[in-house]
Amino acid sequence: MGQTIVEKIFSEHCGKKVKAGEIVIAKIDLALAQDGTGPLTIKQIEKLGVERLANPRGAVFFIDHASPSPRKELSNDHMLIREFTRKTGAILSDIGDGVCHQVINERFNCPGYILIGADSHTVTGGALGAFATGMGSTDVAIGMAYGKNWFRVPETFYFNLKGGFPRGVYGKDLILYIIGMIGADGATYKAMEFGGEALPNIIMSERLTIANMSVEAGAKCGIFPTDEITRGFLKEYGREDKFREIKPDPDAEYEKIFEINLSDLKPMVAMPHTVDNVRPIDHPDLKNVEVHQIFLGSCTNGRIEDLRVAASIIKGKKKHPRVRMIVVPASRDVYRRALKEGLLEIFNDFGASINNPGCGPCCGVHQGILGDGEVALATSNRNFKGRMGNPEALVYLASPATAAASAVTGMITDPREFI
């Protein structure tokens, strides 16, 4: 029997042929932690009594969640991270460099890698054909200290994608559609593998969005095979030499197969308070929903392609007076490109507030906490009660196009009216 992508990657990292269901010890190529989970990772490494990391250049610490720091307690956590990376030779990505999942894929992650991260959206790395998964601080500490950890090789759900995205529909809409279909625990413990003839129509920024949200269906990873699009992305970041072919065997064994025709999709919105509470944009539940805050950014949708789509919709317009719009480029590189392409000027003229690269208001730490009863439309990935800092607020999730259209009208709006 052939192997899935995940079985192949684990086989390479265990030195023997493995299959789904096996518990294995695998070598870790790359491990990340951020400022919310990193301090505990560091304490656990110290507790394990390990002074030299197995591979310091494969251990990356990000200061992105509370960045710049809004409180002295967090500033002290940041100091701990800076000191630890200086001492051990681990890599530091500091304030203004960007969200961990964007930067790790621009600069470090490679096809065929095993990447673990003390952040659930580490799964984003699956877009490059890596096995990338989120773990707790302690498991990442073990990975950094020993260069390995134990895993159960997951069974795989295969998503056979056909067709192409219609106008106004993006990777975000596809993954919201899938989560709505299978539920927030629909893929718990499973790998989600994406493939099919639609792949050449799914650019890297969309793949990153899709892989990013695989965890919202409970998945252990969301993974794509590699192709010319992967090569092009690596080349863009001066890393073409890291390209290699990753694909499943034709007779790989899948636990479930789903067929989706992208051409049938509409813009989708996740309603409060769960990510699987999804409706198509023309559903009656989304009629007349007034919005107070639009958040364009995050590891899900803060890439240059996202900013371009949003800018093209709002160009020459003014935001609705009720709305405030917060734009957060996902990385320094995205920021630089947006600056160069004139996108930041468009956002500024529109009346948006442009923040430094980082997580911004996504997880409710700072930079845009909602008031009681307020409604946000965010391009991020979670809308749990309290997610954006206030359990009395409501968070809707949608694509950058839907977010931009809604910023113009002040209501949740079908972006196809603007494109």
Binding site for ligand SF4 (CB under 6 A): 65, 99-101, 119, 121, 298-299, 359, 362-363, 380-381
> Which is nearer to ligand SF4, 119 or 333 (by Cβ)?
119
Q: Which of 13, 172, 220, 320 binds another protein (CB under 8 A)?
A: 220
Binding partner of residue 348 among another protein, ligand SF4, none, CB cut-off 5 to 8 Å per kind = none
Please name which of 108, 114, 45 lies closest in space to residue 80, comparing C-alpha atoms. 45
Residue 23 C-alpha from the chain's centroid = 27
Binding partner of residue 261 among ligand SF4, another protein, none, CB cut-off 5 to 8 Å per kind = none
Q: Is residue 414 part of the contact set for another protein (CB under 8 A)?
A: no
Q: Is residue 29 part of the contact set for another protein (CB under 8 A)?
A: no
Binding partner of residue 406 among another protein, ligand SF4, none, CB cut-off 5 to 8 Å per kind = none
Sign of CA dihedral 272, 273, 279, 284: negative
Q: How far is the CB of 119 from another protein (least distance, A)?
A: 6
> Which is nearer to another protein, 206 or 276 (by Cβ)?
276
Q: How far is the CB of 76 from another protein (least distance, A)?
A: 7
Q: How far is the CB of 261 from ligand SF4 (least distance, A)?
A: 29
**Residue 92 CB neighbour total at 10 angstroms:** 15
Enumerate residues 6+ apart whose C-beta is below 8 A from 271: 277, 278, 279, 285, 286, 383, 396
Name 270's bridge partners: 278, 397
Please name which of 274, 363, 301 lies closest in space to residue 37, comparing C-alpha atoms. 363
Q: Is residue 337 part of the contact set for another protein (CB under 8 A)?
A: no
CA dist., res. 49 & res. 84, Å (int): 14
Q: Cβ(26)–Cβ(114) under 8 Å? A: yes
Residue 122 C-alpha from the chain's centroid = 7
Amino acid sitting at position 51:
E
Q: Which of 98, 125, 364, 415 binds another protein (CB under 8 A)?
A: 364
Give 195-233 as a DSSP string.
Answer: ESTTGGGS-HHHHHHHHHGGGGGT-SEEE----HHHHHH
Q: Which of 3, 9, 10, 37 binds another protein (CB under 8 A)?
A: 37
| Residue owning tokens 């390209």 | 243
**Residue 266 CB neighbour total at 10 angstroms:** 17
Binding partner of residue 380 among another protein, ligand SF4, none, CB cut-off 5 to 8 Å per kind = ligand SF4
Binding partner of residue 246 among ligand SF4, another protein, none, CB cut-off 5 to 8 Å per kind = none
Give 153-184 as a DSSP string.
Answer: PPPEEEEEEES-PPTT--HHHHHHHHHHHH-T
Please name which of 112, 96, 114, 93 lies closest in space to residue 104, comparing C-alpha atoms. 93
Q: Which of 31, 60, 66, 377 binds another protein (CB under 8 A)?
A: 66
Beta-strand ranges (E) seen in 66-129 are 91-93, 114-118
Total number of residues that touch another protein (CB under 8 A):
54
Q: How far is the CB of 363 from ligand SF4 (least distance, A)?
A: 4
Q: Is residue 51 part of the contact set for another protein (CB under 8 A)?
A: no
Binding partner of residue 99 among ligand SF4, another protein, none, CB cut-off 5 to 8 Å per kind = ligand SF4
CA dist., res. 405 & res. 267, Å (int): 12
Binding partner of residue 135 among another protein, ligand SF4, none, CB cut-off 5 to 8 Å per kind = another protein
Q: Is residue 47 part of the contact set for another protein (CB under 8 A)?
A: yes
Q: Is residue 310 part of the contact set for another protein (CB under 8 A)?
A: no
Q: Is residue 64 part of the contact set for another protein (CB under 8 A)?
A: no
Beta-strand ranges (E) seen in 288-414 are 293-297, 324-328, 353-354, 375-378, 394-397
> Which is nearer to another protein, 293 or 390 (by Cβ)?
390
> Which is nearer to another protein, 125 or 364 (by Cβ)?
364
Q: Which of 8, 65, 292, 319 binds another protein (CB under 8 A)?
A: 65
Q: Within 13 Å, how many C-alpha atoms sit on residue 24's CB side? A: 21
x/- map, 234-253, another protein, by CB under 8 A: --------------------
List residues near another protein by CB under 8 A: 23-25, 36-37, 39-40, 44, 47-49, 65-66, 71, 73-74, 76-77, 80, 117-120, 122, 134-139, 142, 146, 150, 152, 184-185, 188-189, 218, 220, 274, 363-365, 369, 382, 384-391
